Amino acid sequence: MKAAALQMVSGLSLDGNLQAARTLLEQASQTGCELAVLPEYFCLLGRKDTDKLALRERAGEGRIQRFLADSARELGLWLVGGTLPLEAADDGHVRNTTLVYSPAGDCAARYDKIHLFRFDNGRERYDEARVIEPGHEPVAFELTARDGQSWRIGLSVCYDLRFPELYRRLRANVLLVPSAFTHVTGQAHWETLLRARAIENLAYVVAPAQGGVHENGRRTWGQSMVIDPWGEILAQQAEGPGVVSATLERSRLAQVRQQLPALEHRVL
């Protein structure tokens, strides 16, 4: 199954971001990808954290969700919509939500980001909890590829990457990590953490990211990549928009898990 991590440099315009996402999705479809994953905040990186409140949608309704459903159906893709803002318990917060759509355009899974990023190095400050309400449940779903093989896909978002216990719960063949890592934290930890999650779970990792200098002045790390269960990077891109794709092979997954059955050796 060919999978694509779509790298974006999302800006302030919902229209512009959806158009950019559609262009990348079409490129992924044209190159034979079955699974395409957009980055976190693909629909908006605003000037202020509160800007996302104006775009919040009710589950099952709204322009962003229609865009994802229509794109999945029209392009024949399993489409993972990075994250978008869905309604939370109060008007001052949203859920930072990943939605999965089947090639029929049906919503197949929903994951609300559990771990909320906070960082302050004296120059950059982030605190997602100010406007995001956390989720609580790990989510994985079953994907049947065109060749009839079934894949268990585990969902996570960005800062979740630092919490390996989440990935153990997912028990997945493929781990998705749509992200918007800052340049500072990405340069230090992004590749190391991604490869660690692949190695310790003997799973493929598909990690699309925001990558570049955004209209709001923020710089994200990029380096979207696809990693195999041995921790080898199959494809990657530095900064700028693009499609990072690679073929996921069940035979490779089985080989690695047979040669090193670490998942069967767990004690704790």
- Between 63-75 and 14-30, two packed helices, what is the crossing angle to 10 degrees? 20
118 bridge partner residues: 127
Structural domain count of the chain: 1
In the chain (268 residues long), the average pLDDT of successive 10-residue segments reads 98 98 98 98 97 98 98 98 98 98 98 98 95 98 97 98 98 98 98 98 98 97 98 97 98 98 96
Mean pLDDT, the chain, whole residue set: 98
Domain limits for position 63: 2-265
CA distance 121 to 233: 30
pLDDT at 157: 98
Instruction: Put the strands of the sheet holding 174-176 in their side by side order.
Output: 140-144, 150-155, 174-176, 204-207, 225-227, 233-236
pLDDT at 206: 99
Q: Model confidence over 214-223: pLDDT tens digits?
A: 999 999 999 9
pLDDT at 134: 98
Can you read off the two tokens belonging to residue 261? 């059955």
Q: Model confidence over 200-256: pLDDT tens digits?
A: 999 999 999 999 999 999 999 999 999 999 999 999 999 999 999 999 999 999 999
CA distance 123 to 128: 17
pLDDT at 236: 98
For residue 88, give the CATH number of its domain: 3.60.110.10
Global confidence as pTM = 0.98
**Which residues carry out catalysis?**
40, 113, 158
- Which value, in Å, is the radius of gyration of the alpha carbons in the chain? 17
